[in-house]
Chains A and B, each alone.
Chain A
Amino acid sequence: MFLPDNYEFYCPVKTNSGNRALEHIPIDLDSLSSRKPLVITSKDVAGKGVVRKIINAFKESGVTVGIFDAVPDVPDIKFIEEISNIYRNKEHDSIMALGGGPIVDVAKIMNIAVSYNIQGLKELAGDDLIINPLGPFVLVPTLSGTGYETSRFAKIEDLTFSSHFLMPDLVVIDPRMIKAEDSQTVVATAMAALTHSAEAYTCPAKNPLTDTYAYAAIQYIAENLVNVIEEPKDKEGRLALANAAAMAGCALSNTTVDIVHTLGEVVGDMFDLPDGICMGILLPYGLEYSSNKNGYHTADLLLPLAGFDEYAKTSENLRARVAINMITEMQHDLYDSTKSETPRTLEEAEVPRYMLQDIAEKAVSHGSPKFDFDGYLTILEHAWEGKPITRN
């Protein structure tokens, strides 16, 4: 187990997961001094009896719930102002995001607006400019997530916010709320969550507490993702994936963003592919590339991926290779079980080979100074062909 000379870690998120988790929310709201939450969601999520389940769960608790079910797919700052006014006018005292994606961004950013009571959000966009705790924020995921939901990050228009105060106080994972979804979405979100947790688990900025969250996330995904795709009714598997996503965000928020995350976003953005699908393709090659760099802990990844037995049986110098092979195999299994819909290489994702240089250049302008053009290009070329960087 790696222990750095110095580290800091902060994760305010309480997790409530499992049967009747919704019914526990009023107790937690009470300890957050909240009696009047505003539930925000979209028509798409709310349309399926989901809101009724929340209302029923609160029935005898004395908590008054407001419901706003019209968060648009692409919210803007003007929308944040509107919904913040609703919150203020109806005197709500906490925010409950029901769903994922833009709903969570809206919840986090309106929490800044109503807690700071300001109009100009721009001045708080950036790293750690939010220096006071915000109001209570509860997250109830309805889909398997990427980790972004519980993380310190939020985006709207061209503004990005990053602060520990944006993380939810409570995440409530109730099997009744986790909807069945198409396999492409499951693969994309789970591979993004795997990337976030695997990079957190192997990067030089890790510590025993990021490990705690990342380990559990990686193991849940490794054990359940392929099953959930093959057996969409596997409720326990879905619950495990939702847990993994919540944990991945806690790990992600306490390490630095690494190479696969950065490249995956760039590729996704340039070719209009889901980021998570791109991260999944790139993950084995990115891990392999960084395993040769100083300070990375790629071999450790075998423990959460394969469990105690396999880890103990595999000799130390082979662990990194076996771990990376397992992820490649998982990609192949997903390709098979989604009937070839999940690309295994950038070629299968229809990324033109001649564009790889452009991608690498763009990644350099986005990414961390730890990685250079040649590094990005090496990863991209191998991920395009689907060939390991070192062949042995």
Chain B
Amino acid sequence: MHLPEYYEFCSRVKMIAGHGALEKIPGALADLHAKRPLIVTDRGVSGAGLVNIVTDAIKDGVSIGAIADDVPQDSDLRVVNRLAAVYRENGCDSLIAVGGGSVMDTAKGINIVVSENADDLMKFSGAGALKRQLKPLVAIPTTSGTGSEVTLVAVIKDHEKHMKMTFVSYFLLPDVAILDSRMTLTLPPFITASTAMDAMSHAVEAYTCLAKNPLSDTSAIAAISLISKNLLKVMKNPSDKDGRLALANAATLAGMAFSNSMVGMIHNLGHSVGSVCGVPHGTCMSILLPYGLEYNMHKNGDLTAELLLPLAGPEVCALTPKHLRAERVIDHIRQMNQDLHEISGGAHARFFREVVDRQGKQMVPKEKLSDIAGKALGDGALFYNPEDLDYDDMLMVMVAAWEGVPLDRSLIKRG
């Protein structure tokens, strides 16, 4: 097992997982000396009946201070300040965030405001500006993908000043993450697929990129193994509770892995496609994943090869000669995308040219590929990618991922 010259690993979120995990929230809050939480969520989550499940599970053990279920998709500083006022007016002493990335970020922002009595959040932005424990925060993810229940980052937009504030601190780690199968049981198949492949990309990049360490390695392997054993099963049978719980665990493990090891070009290009064309993050990740592995293969093919066991199981691994395993891993991931495409009735896109919005309009027109390649150059994730990429390299990868053809590996410049 690889031992880096230097590494840090920290994952101090308390995990409570299971089919009855929600019922343990009152006890977890009591351990943190809290009993009056503000529930932060969005309309989609409450509309799907998930907030009712949470409140039913906890109402006998805590007194809910208030429920704020109107966090918008595009949350910002104004929302944070408004909900901080709700927290104070209702005498809350803790936060429960139920939802995806935007809800988690908003809850983390509210927590800074109410814990630090901050009138200007800006003072606390950047890395290490927070110096002390915040109020107790319980995170309940409702998708199995981002891993934000175990990450130490929050991004809050300020729409009035047209800027984005990023907060990085171990104090932003939630105190408790609740993984309960009931929270993802009704997730539509297409979102189940893209979010799980998002988690897969976190784990794969954590394992194959430059800042890997022993604990990010073992959590990544566990995540990959859980996703490959359960994703297709859940797609075929969405009410498979055990499969849902396995995917939720996988997303958290992948979150632990990548937040302690950083990621590479797949995220790099994915962020760029997201910001230029508005394609959902998980979709970008699932399409780009095989391309990133292909591009880096001459540098880290030995690491990619090691993923064949968690991905395809011992039989396939034993039958594949070592020098062919990396390619087999890439084929396997492409095949997963193909299977997901078929099971979802075409909703899971295999390449960028078939990504469409709700109106059926193509989201990534070919003429945007150069913008995407250009924008990807400024991204920090590039630093941890095994092989360098310049503009032409980015464009080459994007063109192949747009058309849906494998990379011509003979064209990759070897640095």
Contacts and interface: CB of A to CB of B under 8 A. Distances in A.
Among B5, B306, B315, B322, residue most surrounded by chain A Cβ atoms (within 10 Å): B5
Contact of A11 (B4, B5, B12, B218): B12
A6 B309 contact: no
A312 interface: yes
Interface in B42-62: none
B15 A10 contact: yes
A151 interface: no
Given A33-B131, A239-B3, A208 B8 contact: no
B317 A308 contact: yes
B353 interface: no
A6 B169 CA distance: 29
A216 B314 contact: no
Nearest to B223: A208
A226 to B, nearest CB: 15
Given A5-B18, A207-B17, A243-B3, A31 B226 contact: no
B222 interface: yes
B321 to A, nearest CB: 11
Contacts, number: 131
A234 B5 CA distance: 14
Interface in A1-25: 1, 3-21, 24
Contacts of A30: 128, 131
Contacts of B317: 308-309, 312
Interface in B228-268: 229, 242, 245-246, 249, 253, 256
A312 B320 CA distance: 10
- Give the interface size class of chain A: 35 or more
A21 B214 contact: no
A207 B246 CA distance: 11
Interface in B1-53: 1, 3-12, 14-21, 24, 31
B215 interface: yes
B18 A215 contact: no
A208 B222 contact: yes
A14 B9 contact: yes
B358 interface: no
A216 B256 CA distance: 15
Interface in B173-220: 214-215, 217-219
Given A211-B222, A212-B218, A240-B3, A6 B17 contact: yes
Given A131-B31, A311-B309, A220 B12 contact: no
B14 A216 contact: no
B225 interface: yes
A37 B172 CA distance: 24
Nearest to A175: B5
Nearest to B24: A8
Contact of B249 (A10, A14, A208, A215): A208
Contact of B215 (A18, A19, A213, A312): A213
Nearest to A313: B318
A314 to B, nearest CB: 8
B170 interface: yes
Contacts of B31: 131
A235 to B, nearest CB: 11
B18 to A, nearest CB: 3
Given A207-B17, A220-B214, A243-B214, A15 B128 contact: no
B4 A18 contact: yes
Interface string B144-184: 00000000000000000000000001110000000000000
B132 interface: yes
Q: Which 6 A-B pairs have the closest CB atoms?
A: A6-B18, A18-B6, A14-B10, A312-B317, A216-B214, A312-B314
5 contacts: A3-B249, A5-B245, A14-B9, A18-B6, A243-B3
